[in-house]
Each structure stands twice: as C-alpha cells, then as structure tokens.
Chain A
Amino acid sequence: MTPLAPSVFLPTGARGRTAGGGRAAWLERRIGLLLVAPAVLLILALSVYPLLYSLWVSFVNYDFLVPGHAFVGLRNFASVIADPIARSSLATTVVLSAIDVAMEFALGLGLALAMARPFAGRGLVTSVLIVPLFISPVIVGQFWALLLQRPFGPTDYVLGILLGQPVTINWLSGFPWNFLALILADVWQWTPFMFVILSAGLTAIPDEPYEAAEIDGVNGWQAFRYITLPQLVPMILLAVTFRLLDAIKLFDVIFMMTGGGPGTSTYTASFFLYELGFQHFHLSEATAGSWLFLLLTAAAVTFLVRRLLRAEAAQ
C-alpha cells in the first residue's frame, strides 16, 4: 500500500507553515498512518484475528466433550476427510448447487427475454416476480415445508384432484422428492435474482447490431445465438458466480424443510459444519472442515472470476 502524502490533507497555505514545527511535522508525517489505523485495527480485530484463531483451533483439540487444547497436527483435517457424512455433504452441495443455479439461470434468462420488450403491466409483473428475493430464506423454507408436508400440506391434495387419484408423495422425507422440494424452494426464491441481473444485461445491449442483423435477414434464434448471448456473457458469468457463491452455502432451507434428513441424505457442507460445530461442539473438526470447504470454494471462485475477467476483457 502506498502511504498518502500528509500534505494533501492540508490547505495550500498551511503546508508551508507546518513544515518546520516539531509536533506538526510529526503529525504531518504520520497523519496518513493515523487515518488508516482505525480501519486496519478493525480489520485485524474482526477478520484477521478470528481467521488466525480459527487456524489455531483447527490444529488443536477444541472439543467440548474432550478437555484440553493439545496440539493434534492434521488429525482434525484427516478426521473430516475420512468422515463419510462430510464427503456425502460435499457431494450433495455440489449437486444441489449445480442444479439450482442451472435451473435458475435457464428460467431467469427465459423470463428476462420474455420481459425485454415493453408490454402493458410489465412493471407490475416485474415487481411481483422479484418478491421472493426479499423474503428471508428461513421463511421460504417454512413456507414450502407447510405447503408440501404430509398429510396437512395441500400439495398432495391438489395434485390428487388434478390427477384424479390419491397422491401420497413424501415430499420432505422420500427420495428423490425431498431433493426436488429443496430445489423447488431454492429456484422459487432465487430465479428472480438471475432475472434481474440478466434483464440489466439485456438492456445494456445496443440496438445497432440487431438493426444490422435485421437488414441482413437473420432470424430470431440467430440473433439470440450470435448477438444477444455473446453480449450477455459477462453478465451471465457475473450472475452465475454470485449465485453459485451463495448456493454452495445452502443452509436455511435445508434446516427448515428436511433437517438434513432422512438420515443425512440432505446434509449440505454448511449444514454438516453447523451440526458438527454448533450442535455438538466438535469445534476443532468443524473449523478444520470450514477451512477445507473454504479452500475448495476459493478454487471454484477463482476459476469463475478468471473466466469473468477474461470475458470482460474480450468485450
């Protein structure tokens, strides 16, 4: 970091007067540091210290049921890696995130394209579409749980009427319905996010390429394939990156709808780490697991951000 020259903070006339004074000179030399210090201290206290502390915790025994904080080397990391529930939670996270984001992207893009041209009531429809974005994920989870729960939720009843025969789907505890329910809830809440970002991207595409394409006689699909999509790539990558970052932390909806069950089949990485750390207080293992998860997440994010930057540079 380049320190700021203290004199830039002083009026022009004052610079000459303070240059020779001892205390004033000291202040002038240090003012940049003094101004930055609170922010640095805050970051150190709230970010760096906890990070270093958690690193220490991951290398010692820090378990409510086992007294003492003896150094255990990589045992906590090994324990998490060897834990089949941790591995299945990671797999569930990858699968759920990928499906969630893919569906949200497809639906969000479709909605954005459908809403691109003005029509009567577009503002109202847009407002309604983005309402789920503003609801807490916990409430979304509870809402879908009530909707899908047997025997009191209305879903099976309504499906039964529509299909003309009794429907007895265990949406929250039967495979694969429980996964479908989780995806449904997540897609319902976050498709509007994709819609908003991609709509902004579509708005930013100039009209000229389309006008030229029209003169050249290209059809709608060709215009989408060769004009819209390439122009939209940076926004698509941005939306997918942001959404993926959030999706891999999926917790609230799982907590409310399935509680991770049946068994541990709907444990995600976040849910697993929460259970391990904050329900059973195997804190050192949970911390080691968090670090491992952070490294995996960082690798994925780095990959996506590089793609994003490359796409932007190509524009």
Chain B
Amino acid sequence: MSKDKDGNTAALGRELDAWLRGDHSRRAVLRQVLAASGYAALGGTLSAGVTQAAVELASPDTPLGRVQAAAVRASTEGPQNGSAYRAVQAARKFKGVTLGMTYEAGLQALEPRNFSGPLWQQLTGMSYNVVELSHPDQYAKPIAEHIAQSGAYDTLDIEPAWIPSLADGGVIAPIDDFVAKYMNMADLEDYHPLYKFLPTYKGKRWGFFDDGDQLALYYRRDVFEDSKLRAAYQAKFNRALRVPQGWDEYAETAQFITDQLAPKVYGAVHFRKAGSPGNQYGFMQEYRANGGVLFDGAMRAQIAGEAGVRTMRQMLAANKGSVPGNDDLDAVAAWVAWLQGKAAMLYSWPPTGRMSENYSQRDKAVNFVPHSAIAGNVGYAVMPGGNGEMASGYVKALAADSANPEAAYLFMQWVTSPPVSLVRVMLPYTLRDPYRMSHYNSPDYRALWPASKEYLSTLAEAANGGVVDMIMPGWQDYALSLDQMCTSVWAGTDPHAALTKAAAEWDAITDKIGVDSQRAAYQQFLKLPGSAANHTIATMGLAVHAN
C-alpha cells in the first residue's frame, strides 16, 4: 500500500500539470489526488471513493480551475504547515464521522453540495449533511436544537452579530484550544482587518469569518458619463455630475437621473421590503455616517435624535428617486431591476459585481436573475459617506452540542483556509464574498472579467471604512424594530414618530435583557473596528489596500 501511495504521490504532480494543460479529465486528476493521499481508496477500489459524491471542478484552463487545483494541492501536498493541509491530515482519524452543517438555503448551500462537501469527504472519509435553512432560521433553528439538546448540527453559518446571543446562550463553543493546536497563525493574519476581529467575543474566538458581506455602491458608468446628462446636471446644480459622495447627494443624484431618464432608467433601486433586510442595514450605515450613536451612557436608545430623523429623510428622498415599487422589492428583485438596466445606482452585497458582468449567470443555478444588460458599464465605489455596512456576513461557528467538535473544527479550518476559501468565493453561483487579502490580490480572481481588479480593490477599500452590525445580545430584536420602523415610514408614518416608537422598543429590549449587561456588551462592541463612523479600520490607521 505504501509503495502504491508513493507511486501515486509521484504521479500526482504530473497529473495535475496534465490537468492544467487540459490533457486529462478533471475526474481522473481527482482520482489521482485521492489515491496519492490514500484517503478514498476504500477496499482497494479507488473509483468507489470517487463516486461517493461528485466534486464539480472547472476546466483547468480557467481561473477557477487553477485555484481549484491549487486548493487540492494545498490540501494534499501542502505546504505542510498550511491550515488546509494540517486540517486534512488531522481529520483522517475521524473517517466515518458525519458532520451536520447549516447553510443558508439556496446558493449558499450549493457550494458545500457541489464543492467543499464532497471534496472534504473524499479527502478525509468523513461524511457531511448540508442542512439548508432560511436566513432567519440560521439563528432560530440552532437555538431550538440546542434547547432540545438534539446535537443535530456540528458547524453553523451564523452572522457575527449573533455571536453574543449564541455564545451567552451556550449554542456555540469557543475554538481557541483547537486554533492553538491546529491553525497556522499566518492564515489568520490573511483576513482583512475588519473581518479579523469579528468572530471574537469576551476574549474568545467563536469561529472563522467566512463571508465578506460588505455593501458597496455599484453605478452605471454609461449613465454617469453621458454627455447630455452631465450638461443638464451642470446647468441645474452648477457642478459636475459625479458618483455621490454623501447621502444627501445620493438622493439628489438619484432624483435627478429619474427626472431626466425615467421610465427608461431610474436613479437608484433599493431592497426595502419588510424583512428583506435592506432597511436595517440601510438605516444603520446612514445613521452612523450621519454621526449617530446608538445608546447613551444610561443605555437609552438615541436613534430618535437628529441623526435618526436626518437618516430617515435621506432614505425617503432616495426612495422617491428610485424604481417604482422600490418599497416592495427584496434583494433579488432589486438585482433584477439593476441587471435589466432600470437603475443607475444600486448599493448591495458583492455578488452584484459578479452578476453585473454575467460571471454568475454562466451557472444554471443563477438563472433566476436575468442576463445582465449592463455588463462592461458598471463602476464600483465605496458607499456615499464612506461608511458602508458590513451587512450580516457569515462566521463559521462550532455548535456546542456537536458530538464531534474536533472533527467539526477541522472542517471549519480547512474550508476557510486561504486556498479553499478562494475557490468558494470564486464559484460562479456563490454568494460567499471575498474577505481575505489573498482573495483581493488573487491574480486568478482578477482575471474573471476586465474590471474585476477594480471590483476587488473597491471591496477592500469599502471594508476599510465599513461599519458593522450591532454585535451584542438582542441584535435580532433591535434589527426587527428598525425594519418595522422603516416600513411604517415608507407606508406614511411620520419619521420622528416612528423613530420615537422604535427607540422605546429598543429601550424595552435593553431593559428586558438587562441594562447593566447590555451596557457592558455595548462597551465591548464599541471597541470593535467598524462600530462607529469615527472608529473604522481606516480611522484606526489599520487600512489595507489590494495590490
């Protein structure tokens, strides 16, 4: 067996090279990889291992194919101090274990079904069970299972903002001991600084950050460069038309474009439907860009103050200059309007950039959005005001009730490692967005479409000025209150009255959880980069830039 393995190992490099040249099928290479690793040759029949589950691999002459080959190499050949290699080596002893892994239903779950799940299975002999949950249920179901002590889940995809609630409630477990034992610390340093700190709470690490959901502004270059439009703007405002730098300018520009070009093109489009959840993110980023603070020293909510009223007026003005029906749109519907060329601006999550260039639509899984009519005409910018929301994001966390915590941890380490995570943020259908410096700087990612370098650089810059969701217990309740406040304003409620009601609800939530404990949590939150507009990665002097 060892002789066979040596032979296979020697052949692996040649096979990979052949795959990269396009001489061999991808499946043949994977068989060779697995044979060299000795992991999948169950009962001496290699093919049986390969057919356990199909790993979807791209053509080797594509950027995606190249990073997939690199991920397989890193997992099987090393470098041997790499976190991917270490995880695979250590996980071999858990062969036969099945991991229950929660993912957001749909495209997010497609990735472990098509790529990381089957590859992990073939590398380690461990099985996996992808549990698809709606986004709210990714919070609710692990709690329900924890209360029932079912042990149904091993790894959880959770928002960083849920960590305090889930950690205090005993739903997730800290991973510091495993990190000390298995992690290559240099791989932790590869995170963008904004994301590096997010999985920490009360001095412990509660998972690995795994999805850079940084909002950025996407705009139509052809619209902003239109000479007639520019002349009309100059005549009206006595200044040049530009990508908006602040929220008043954003609403004003959206309205101007709508007035000039509707119904062909509207100024902007937003996802403002109840629960969509653009309202809470939109409010949080604008409120803080307007200098708003969330609580005073007595932990009374401050959202009904001047900054709050100003924010709501800006959001209402932006709605007015937007695609009709703006208030009924969820994120996907907003994407549809954007891709059809109905809007000049959209701020949203990073998949927007990939869909705009039809990179995502090459996979049939993304056929629910139309082919982009604006490919090649899309520009990228940080959010007006400079403080875009890091809206949700995902942390891969360890379920406290897992029967196999070490095995679960090793999967978490492997799947978030630089080479493997690069594949996952590059898959056409992925909703998982770049978050490591190695992602932003990847030459293969930058080769996906002509402007992808600019796209990646903008995402890194946006994270430098990014503000994060309120990472403290009760965020779900506070956020729901914001969403309800916003939708009631869209339906006609006076902004100040709605804000006052929401502030009272925030106070009730704080009182319920405990003022003192919330004060302590808020003080801890304020220390996080991105907790306020004057406390971002950029203002702290920690900014990083893509090469």
Residue positions of A touching B, CB distance < 8 A: 63-67, 149-152, 168, 170-175, 258-265, 275, 278-282
Given A64-B165, A260-B274, A262-B488, decide whether A275 and B480 contact each other with a Cβ distance below 8 A. yes
With a 10 A CB-CB cut-off, give which of A64, A67, A175 has the most chain B CB atoms. A64
Known A260-B274, A278-B144; further 5 A-B contacts with Cβ < 8 A: A65-B512, A173-B328, A262-B484, A279-B139, A280-B476
Determine whether B492 belongs to the interface, using a CB cutoff of 8 Å to chain A: yes
Are B324 and A168 in contact (CB-based, < 8 A)?
Answer: yes
Do residues A263 and B136 form an inter-chain contact, with CB atoms below 8 A?
no
Judge whether B514 and A66 touch: CB under 8 Å.
yes
Q: How far is the CA of A172 from the CA of B326 in the complex (A)?
A: 12
C-alpha spacing A94/B485, complex, angstroms: 24
Alpha-carbon separation in the docked complex, A161 to B488 (Å) = 30
* B324 and A173 contacting across the interface, CB-CB below 8 Å: no
Which residues, 460 to 484 on B, are CB-close (under 8 Å) to A? 473-474, 476-477, 480, 483-484
The answer to whether B327 touches A151, judged by C-beta atoms less than 8 angstroms apart, is no
A262 with B169: CB separation less than 8 A: no
User: Are B474 and A175 neighbours in the complex by a CB distance under 8 Å?
Assistant: no
The interface residues of chain B lying within 8 Å CB-to-CB of A264 are: 484, 488
Cβ of B328 and Cβ of A172 under 8 Å apart?
yes
- Smallest CB gap from B170: residue in A: A67
B residues less than 8 Å from A149 (CB atoms): 325, 328, 333
Q: Is the CB of B273 within 8 A of A263?
A: no
Smallest CB-CB separation from B277: which chain A residue?
A259
| CB–CB B513/A262 < 8 A | no
Q: Which residues of A contact B474 (CB under 8 A)?
A: 65
The answer, yes or no, to whether B447 is at the interface (CB within 8 Å) is no
Q: Is B229 part of the binding interface, using a Cβ–Cβ cutoff of 8 Å?
A: no
The reply to whether A65 and B484 form a contact with Cβ atoms under 8 Å apart is no
Interchain CA distance A278-B134 in the complex, whole Å: 13
Q: B487 contacts the other chain (Cβ, under 8 Å)?
A: yes
Measured CB to CB, the residues of B under 8 A from A are: 136, 139-140, 143-144, 147, 165, 168-169, 273-275, 323-325, 327-329, 333, 336-337, 473-474, 476-477, 480, 483-485, 487-488, 490-493, 498, 512-514
Question: In whole Å, how far is A271's beta carbon from the nearest beta carbon of chain B?
Answer: 12
Q: In chain B, what residue has the closest Cβ to A172?
A: B328
A260 to B337, CA, bound (A): 24
**Taking A170-B328, A275-B480 as contacts, is the C-beta distance between A65 and B488 under 8 angstroms?**
no
Task: List the 5 closest A-B pairs by CB distance, nearest first.
Answer: A150-B325, A261-B274, A263-B488, A262-B487, A262-B491
- In this complex, what residue of A is CB-closest to B508? A83
Least distance between A62 CB and chain B CB atoms (Å)? 9
Nearest CB in chain A to that of B166: its residue? A64
Contact A151 B323 (CB under 8 A): yes
Task: Contact check, A65 vs B333: say whether CB atoms are below 8 A apart.
Answer: no
Instruction: Check B484–A263 contact: CB distance below 8 A.
Output: yes
- Residue from B169, B476, B487 within 8 A of A263 (CB atoms): B487
> A278 with B273: in contact, given A151-B323, A263-B491 (CB under 8 Å)?
no
Query: B484 and A150: CB pair below 8 A?
Result: no
Partner of A170, one of B144, B327, B337, B514: B327
Instruction: Tell me the number of A-to-B contacts counted with CB atoms below 8 Å.
Output: 95
Known contacts A152-B333, A168-B324, A262-B487: does B274 contact A173 (CB below 8 Å)?
A: yes
The one of A65, A152, A175 that contacts B336, using a Cβ cutoff of 8 Å: A152
Which residues does chain A contribute within 8 Å of B140, judged by CB atoms? 278-279, 281
Contacts A64-B165, A264-B484 given; indicate if A175 touches B324 (C-beta within 8 A): no
Interface of A is mostly: loop
Q: A151-B337, A278-B140, A279-B476 are in contact. Are A262 and B324 (CB under 8 A)?
A: no
**Chain A residues, CB < 8 A from B477:** 280
Q: Are B324 and A263 in contact, with the CB atoms below 8 A?
A: no
B486 → A minimal CB distance (Å): 8
A175 engages B491 (CB within 8 Å): yes
User: In the complex, what residue of chain B is closest to A168 when comparing beta carbons?
Assistant: B324
Chain B residues within an 8 Å CB radius of A259: 273-275
In the bound complex, CA of A299 to CA of B514 (Å): 37
Closest-CB distance, B90 to chain A (whole angstroms):
34
Please measure, in the bound complex, the distance between the C-alpha atom of A66 and the C-alpha atom of B143, giving whole angstroms. Answer: 14
In chain A, what residue has the closest Cβ to B276?
A: A259
Checking A152, A265, A279 against B136 with a beta-carbon cut-off of 8 angstroms, the contacting residue is A279
Q: Is B328 in contact with A66, judged by CB distance below 8 angstroms? A: no
Minimum Cβ distance to chain B for residue A21 (Å)? 47
Q: Which of A151, A168, A172 has the most CB of B within 10 A?
A: A151
What are 10 A-B contacts defined by CB distance under 8 Å? A64-B165, A65-B165, A65-B474, A66-B512, A66-B514, A168-B325, A173-B328, A262-B491, A278-B140, A279-B476
Residues of A within 8 A of B337 (CB): 151
**Could you tell me if A173 and B490 are in contact, using CB atoms closer than 8 angstroms?**
yes
How far does the alpha carbon of A27 sit from the alpha carbon of B202 in the complex, in Å? 64
Compute how far the CA of A127 lies from the CA of B169 in the bound complex, rounded to whole angstroms.
52
A168, A171, A280 pick with most chain B CB within 10 angstroms:
A280
B264: min CB distance to chain A, Å: 14
Question: How far apart sit A282 and B473, CA to CA, in the bound complex (Å)?
Answer: 13
Taken together as a complex, chains A and B put the C-alpha atoms of A281 and B147 apart, in Å, by 10
Identify which of A151, A171, A265, A280 contacts B324 (C-beta below 8 A): A151
How far is B143's CA from A64's CA once the two chains are assembled, in angstroms? 8
- In the bound complex, what is the Cα–Cα distance between A260 and B276 (angstroms)? 12
Question: CA of A255 to CA of B416 in the docked complex: distance in angstroms?
Answer: 34
Shortest Cβ distance from A171 into B: residue: B328
Chain A residues, CB < 8 A from B485:
263
Could you say which of B329, B473, B474, B484 has the most chain A C-beta atoms within 10 Å of its C-beta?
Answer: B484
Q: With A64-B165, A279-B136 known to touch, is A262 a contact of B480 (CB < 8 Å)?
A: no
Which of chain B's residues have a CB closer than 8 A to the CB of A280? 476-477, 480
Knowing A65-B474, A264-B484, A278-B140, the reply to whether A258 touches B512 (Cβ < 8 A) is: no
CA gap between A265 and B165 in the complex, in Å: 28
User: Are B473's CB and A65's CB within 8 A?
Assistant: yes
Task: Evaluate contact between A261 and B473: CB separation under 8 angstroms.
Answer: no
Query: CA–CA, A216 to B379, complex, Å?
Result: 84
Nearest-CB distance from B254 to chain A (Å)? 16
CA distance A258 to B513 in the complex (A): 29
A63: chain B residues within 8 A (beta carbon): 512
